[in-house]
Amino acid sequence: MLLPTPRGPVSEILVSVFRTSPGADAEALLKTVSAADVEKISEEDLQLSLFLCYGPQYCLFGESVQSWEWESSLIELRKRLEVRFDRELREAVSELPDVGVAKLPDFLMELGRPRGGRSLSRYLKQDATMEQFREFLMHRSVYSLMEADHHSLVIPRVRGGGKPALVEIQSDEYGGGVPGRLHSQLFELTLSELGMHTRFGAYFEKVPACALATVNVISYFGTYGRHRGAVLGNLAVTEIGSHHVNQNFRNGLRRLDGPDESWLFFQEHIVADAVHEQLAAYDMCGEFVRENPGELAEVVFGAMVTAELGARANEYLLSCWERGESALRGAMPAVAGR
């Protein structure tokens, strides 16, 4: 992926140092960004900056940027960004309910259950234009073209309870050993069947902060052992209810005459996630907290914040389209005169 266009002063500095090798000048530049500076930047700048900081651990920006991976000046800046991000995440969910270890799986199933009211998947099923469907795929591409990689960060951090189910889910996400069946590859197929670019980063410039946040939150949790429970909560909410929304996505593409192969990604999730939601809630999170009851609140936090960030990202798309506008950054209104 090419280095993206900066969205404010901090991402400007990060992009400029990533164009050079680590050295005294570049490291000094990173150190000029104070905690107070981080508080003042826009959400777009914050989310892009976090995405840039996590990029080297996924080998995203090419060989030269890899030399930055363990540079202390970069890690220190990332930690200053994470202080603000963590605070925003905690504000997003305010009070955590007292769930109790035994009730956690049922709580997660209820949290992830599809509800009435405004629904992105229902809109895509019934009302969206093909252009809007493509915009939705562009938003999702920052996650689904790397599907499962973010959650895999947690595998070596979990032992015993919950690990077999975690690995089973992740194995399915990686296609169960069958070439071409990785969910990220099925997503590529959807994009190519709809005449879209399949390269990771092709639509990155068009994706707003709310979509980047849904990915950054997994990278953040996955980077720290103390947040391992939050990764599991995130994965559970990603899986629970997914088979239902993917049915809506598939039916939407069918209504829009999408080619058969373009549905495969959604079809796969209708089948796989009906199993994954049970595995995630009961065998993964349930067993994990039974062995690690002190980490119950972290699982609940991860689950609730994931539900909230997902709802915000979905609402962004819906509200843009309702105003007759594109949900892409830098796009002109989709409907003339509105």
Residue 193, classified by CB atoms within 10 Å of its CB into exposed (0-12), middle (13-18) or buried (19+), is middle
**Scanning the structure block, which residue is given the tokens 């700048």?**
45
**Distance in Å, CB of 198 to Fe ion, minimum:** 17
Q: Using CB under 5 A, which of the segments 72-80, 223-231, 250-258, 271-279 binds Fe ion?
A: 271-279
**Distance in Å, CB of 184 to Fe ion, minimum:** 8
Instruction: Give the nearer residue to Fe ion in terms of CB position, either 71 or 188.
Output: 188
Q: Does 45 bind Fe ion (CB under 5 A)?
A: no
Q: Using CB under 5 A, which of the segments 31-39, 66-74, 132-140, 176-184 binds Fe ion?
A: 176-184
Q: Which of 183, 227, 228, 243 binds Fe ion (CB under 5 A)?
A: 183
Instruction: Give the nearer residue to Fe ion in terms of CB position, either 275 or 297.
Output: 275
Instruction: Give the nearer residue to Fe ion in terms of CB position, either 55 or 112.
Output: 112
Distances from the Cα of 172 to the Cαs of 69, 196, 238, 267, in angstroms?
Answer: 29, 25, 14, 14
Spell out the alpha helix ranges (H) of the chain: 9-18, 24-31, 35-40, 43-54, 63-66, 72-93, 104-112, 120-126, 130-144, 149-152, 163-173, 183-193, 209-223, 228-239, 242-255, 264-278, 287-291, 296-322
**Scanning the structure block, which residue is given the tokens 């895509």?**
124
**Distance in Å, CB of 216 to Fe ion, minimum:** 19
Q: Does 276 bind Fe ion (CB under 5 A)?
A: yes
Contact pattern for Fe ion over residues 219 through 248, marking x by CB under 5 A: --------------------x---------
Query: Residue 302 corresponds to which amino acid?
Result: G
Give the number of residues in contact with Fe ion, rule: CB under 5 A.
Answer: 5
State the residue number with the nearest CB to Fe ion: 183
CB 203 within 8 A of CB 187: no
Contact pattern for Fe ion over residues 67 through 96, marking x by CB under 5 A: ------------------------------
Nearest to 30 by CA among 2, 38, 87: 38
Q: Which of 135, 273, 295, 298 binds Fe ion (CB under 5 A)?
A: 273
Report the distance separating Cα 144 and Cα 218, nearest Å: 13
**Distance in Å, CB of 305 to Fe ion, minimum:** 19
Q: Does 163 bind Fe ion (CB under 5 A)?
A: no
Residue 303 token pair: 């689950």
Instruction: Give the nearer residue to Fe ion in terms of CB position, either 80 or 276.
Output: 276
Q: Where along the sequence are the contacts to Fe ion (CB under 5 A)?
A: 173, 183, 239, 273, 276
